[in-house]
Amino acid sequence: MSQVEVQKVDKSSKDTLAVFGGLAKRLGAIERRAFDLFEKRGRELGHDVEDWLNAEQELGWPAPELSEKDRAYEIQIASPASRPRKSK
């Protein structure tokens, strides 16, 4: 079985906490949109993952990239500012 190393960060700064606040807001927006999709379908059960993924896509949530490097896993998520915006 693979082992995953978890490191605790001792330094908590306002910048670090702001990132988590921003993530919480974005996840809340995705949750609300997924629920809207559920309601539009007449509250039909069994499509929760589909609704969540559609909400992520609609709201521009970046797809993470997971890779293994030197016996460690790395996850990269592009910030919305680093991605080109789609023109409508």
Residue 49: inside a domain: yes
Query: Burial of 58 by CB count in 10 Å (0-12 exposed, 13-18 middle, 19+ buried)?
Result: middle
Range of the domain at 70: 14-82
Query: Burial of 34 by CB count in 10 Å (0-12 exposed, 13-18 middle, 19+ buried)?
Result: buried
Q: Quote the CA–CA distance of 34 and 32 in Å, as a whole number.
A: 5
Looking at every residue in the chain, the average pLDDT score rounds to 77
Instruction: Count how many domains the chain has.
Output: 1
The answer to whether the predicted template modeling score (pTM) of the entire model surpasses 0.85 is no
- The tens digit of pLDDT for each residue in 3-34 reads 666 666 666 555 556 667 777 888 899 999 99
Residue 9: inside a domain: no
Q: Quote the CA–CA distance of 28 and 24 in Å, as a whole number.
A: 6
The 3-state DSSP class for residue 72 equals: strand
Residue 8: inside a domain: no
Residue 2: inside a domain: no
Helix axes 48-58, 14-40, angle to 10 degrees: 120
Residue 36: inside a domain: yes
Residue 66: inside a domain: yes
pLDDT above 90: residue 74: no
Residue 3: inside a domain: no
Residue 4: inside a domain: no
